[in-house]
A and B are shown apart, each in its own frame.
Chain A
Amino acid sequence: ILNVEQSPQSLHVQEGDSTNFTCSFPSSNFYALHWYRWETAKSPEALFVMTLNGDEKKKGRISATLNTKEGYSYLYIKGSQPEDSATYLCASDMDSNYQLIWGAGTKLIIKP
């Protein structure tokens, strides 16, 4: 069984602080790595899709990096705001079959 692991499971961060969390995935047969933001009572919203080793993507205060050789990706949030509170999911696309293997998510809570 090929697993995607995310850590930590949950995270409390003071408003204004920066934070980051990790997604680990099998490096063999790698095709793409997805990050989604999932707010309570809403649906997952795509943040980034990365395919190349060394990829870095940025959207506002959120950025992500990708290391396909060692099988990990980091998501960074700079200057956390209350609206950043959500569960952040990563998912790996293996073998280009477009079926994603999902991590369990990191639940981020921003304390005002």
Chain B
Amino acid sequence: DAGVIQSPRHEVTEMGQEVTLRCKPISGHDYLFWYRQTMMRGLELLIYFNNNVPIDDSGMPEDRFSAKMPNASFSTLKIQPSEPRDSAVYFCASSSGYANQPQHFGDGTRLSIL
């Protein structure tokens, strides 16, 4: 059974460029979460979706960040324009939404903005 799939695994780009991170959740999972891992703040929730609808985006750092989930099998996190302080590992996770079920994480995208 395929897990959560994220792409790309690594992204290096110059400041000011648009960055798009992609996520395919586990089939049948109704919830999708975008997290960012930094040394300073650990694991931060950026936004999460339920049935493709954004529920809470209060963790999105600023307007340069946007996320979409056009269908149940795909989500994107976009940064435009990117800045060096956006450098981090970005994780996508999905869950079935039942109380006794965990979140399943993708392998993450390591983003470096030069």
Contacts and interface: CB of A to CB of B under 8 A. Distances in A.
Interface of A: 31-32, 34, 36, 42-46, 49, 51, 89, 93, 96-100, 102, 104-105
A102 B42 contact: yes
Interface in B80-114: 91, 93, 95, 97, 99-108
A36 B54 CA distance: 25
Interface residues of B, number: 23
Contacts of B56: 99
Interface of B: 31, 33, 42-43, 45, 48, 50, 55-56, 91, 93, 95, 97, 99-108
Contacts, number: 48
A42 B107 contact: yes
Contact of B91 (A31, A43, A51, A100): A43
16 contacts: A31-B99, A32-B99, A32-B100, A34-B102, A43-B106, A43-B107, A44-B91, A49-B99, A49-B102, A89-B43, A93-B99, A99-B56, A100-B103, A102-B42, A104-B42, A105-B42
